[in-house]
Structure 1
């Protein structure tokens, strides 16, 4: 039988902190027909360009075309599927900017490429983003307290 020994205790505590880090929203639409992937990418860019013309530049935005290999880039050969799902996601510290994105999304169904249709339930929802911050805190900076609730 082997004896195992651990290492001495460190002089730090591990801390996992969550903090508010802005707002995000993502929406999806189905784009059918010949050239669906290219039209989906163009639709997503049209949406972001509308926001830019309105004076809104989002901190982060991402357009992906599901069904055309965007979820596994470089793994599958390029294809021209008969239909795709366009997903546009945004993130920004300003709730109003993300809300404006959600209002610009739905008009792509009526003013976008022919055949564009909704895929999920209406306008994308704005959600608050909580970020994760791992850290080490010196044990000398912490006074432990035990409180028994009863």
Structure 2
């Protein structure tokens, strides 16, 4: 959360934070389809917002949010309102991450309902992309 405060105060950028269904204080159960719909709804809200310059939107996501950001940007290729995409400590897809974390999962791939197949969406993004990662991240 501290980096969001820095973005707002020092760079003087507007920030919209989204709590996906099933996360934080939001209700409902999380699902890949639902989380992607929540992100799309947030982007559509920004496109219609009269209080900001809607021609300078940057999509940012960290960890799972990175996969959502990749999908969202891939769903809007060539949209000139989206200036860039930034993803921090995200993954190529849930299955590969799970296999890396839990070696036995490769024998039970059929049990994994979430895909977040970012590796197949990334090539559809036409906006500039910044990938951030660090060796101290113990999960992704």
More relative contact order in 1 or in 2 (CA 8 Å, sep 6+)? 1
Identify the structure with the greater strand proportion: 1
TM over 0.5: no
TM-score between the two structures when normalised by the length of structure 1? 0.29
TM-score between the two structures when normalised by the length of structure 2? 0.30
Larger radius of gyration: 1
